[in-house]
Amino acid sequence: MKLYAIIFGKNPDLSWGEFNAFARKHNIRVHPVLRKDGWVIIKSSEDLEREFRWLGGALKLIRIIGRDSGLDKAPYSKLFTVSIYGHRNGDWRLWRKLGSELKARFKQIGPSKFFKPASIFAMPSELILKGFPRVRDFSFIFDGEGFWFGETVAVTDPFELKKLDVGRPYQRPILSIPPRLARIMVNLTGLRRGKLLDPFCGVGTIVQEFMLQGFEAYGSDVDGRVVRGARKNLEWLRREFNVRSRYVLEVRDARNLRGRFDAVVTEPYLGKPLKRELSISEAKRASKKLDSFYREVFRSISNVATRSVVFTFPAFRLRNGGVYRRNREWLEDLGFSIEARYLDYEGRHRLIRDIHVLKVG
């Protein structure tokens, strides 16, 4: 077991939930040491370094070298950068001081320079463009009492995720979900193998993630035109990403599913686009109306899903600044138990995702 820090993206609660399901599915032993907003320190087996790139909600994996120390053990770097996390008054002066200290040590071995990222921490995109892992990133993670010092050993690749989104031949930007979120939702099943279905597949963002992760991939949608578009996208995926997995797509109403699947992962129809924020009574009404549709969908899912369901329900941003999320007792009546719920905000949207992780039985 080694000490690591993980830096999360914009939704740390969701990303921590994803990470735990991910560790379970890969049989990676993990002990949390310290969890703060935006990052965690864990003890974990080294397999994590190999699998890390398959996380959707994490940005960087940092191998801890020392606590309030360790700079003398940092491996020599000709070109490197410095990242600071958790420091209340962290600024460029501190950043320059820490970088200079490392540079002075490296200079005893050979030429050395450090480069300035856009903020006092380097994002994966900046590291990849500069030549990571040859170019190194050293982090100082402050927790109020001292700092953890370490080196980034893995990052998730924003360029790959972007290509999975805007590189596709068939696009429908407003309705399709970000590939990063599709990855998180698939990981939340905690499954490593099996037959997975997205019954509201749209242009196929979640189905493409099934394929990338080597699942038996199934998708359906009531709209024949988008199913044709999804097929184009999945053929593109097989070519561009050299993916060998097969897929099955069909035109089908989600209230009338057939077959047997280990898990259903989906973002359904979420209602008409909202032109403004709602009052609480409007949100209750909108949510109740959609619920009668979701109930029928779940009646159908209960006939086909055998282990797990990851499903996005809508929650609503209210005019008074709050959020309306509905509780659905009927899920239990249909044989589903709620394992976790996460809210996911998308800046410009009035709609908020209320992601449910459900177990069957």
Ligand X SMILES: C[S@@+](CC[C@H](N)C(=O)[O-])C[C@H]1O[C@@H](n2cnc3c(N)ncnc32)[C@H](O)[C@@H]1O
Give 94 or 161: the residue with its C-beta nearer to ligand X.
161
Cα dihedral: 214, 218, 223, 224 (round 10):
90
With binding defined as CB under 6 A, does residue 203 bind ligand X? Answer: yes
Give residue number: closest CB to ligand X: 202
Residue 274 φ/ψ, nearest 5 degrees: -90, 135
Pattern of binders to ligand X over 116-145, x per CB under 6 A?
A: ------------------------------
Among 156, 205, 287, 300, binds ligand X (CB under 6 A): 205
With binding defined as CB under 6 A, does residue 254 bind ligand X? Answer: yes
Q: Give the SS3 label for residue 268.
A: coil
Give 152 or 205: the residue with its C-beta nearer to ligand X.
205
Among 200, 218, 324, 336, binds ligand X (CB under 6 A): 200
Residue 306 φ/ψ, nearest 5 degrees: -105, -20
CB-CB contact of 49 with 61 (8 Å): yes
Helix axes 179-188, 158-166, angle to 10 degrees: 110
Pattern of binders to ligand X over 261-280, x per CB under 6 A?
A: ------xxxx----------
Among 253, 259, 273, 338, binds ligand X (CB under 6 A): 253
CB of 208 vs ligand X, minimal distance in Å:
9
325-331 long-range contacts, CB within 8 A, separation 24+: 325/352, 325/354, 326/284, 326/287, 326/288, 326/291, 326/354, 328/291, 328/294, 330/295, 330/298, 331/298, 331/356, 331/358
Question: Residues in contact with ligand X, total (CB under 6 A)?
Answer: 21
Among 18, 137, 151, 221, binds ligand X (CB under 6 A): 221
CB of 209 vs ligand X, minimal distance in Å:
10
**How many beta carbons lie within 10 A of that of residue 51, not counting itself?**
15
Q: Is the peptide bond before 133 cis (omega within 30 degrees of 0)?
A: yes
DSSP string, 95-135: HHHHHHHHHHHHHTTS--EE---SSSS--HHHHHHHTTTTS
Pattern of binders to ligand X over 143-182, x per CB under 6 A?
A: -----------------------------x--xxx-----
CB of 200 vs ligand X, minimal distance in Å:
4
With binding defined as CB under 6 A, does residue 71 bind ligand X? Answer: no
With binding defined as CB under 6 A, does residue 234 bind ligand X? Answer: no
CB of 249 vs ligand X, minimal distance in Å:
12
| Length of the chain in terms of residues written | 361
Give 152 or 208: the residue with its C-beta nearer to ligand X.
208
Contacts with ligand X, residue ranges (CB under 6 A): 172, 175-177, 199-200, 202-203, 205-206, 221-223, 226, 253-255, 267-270
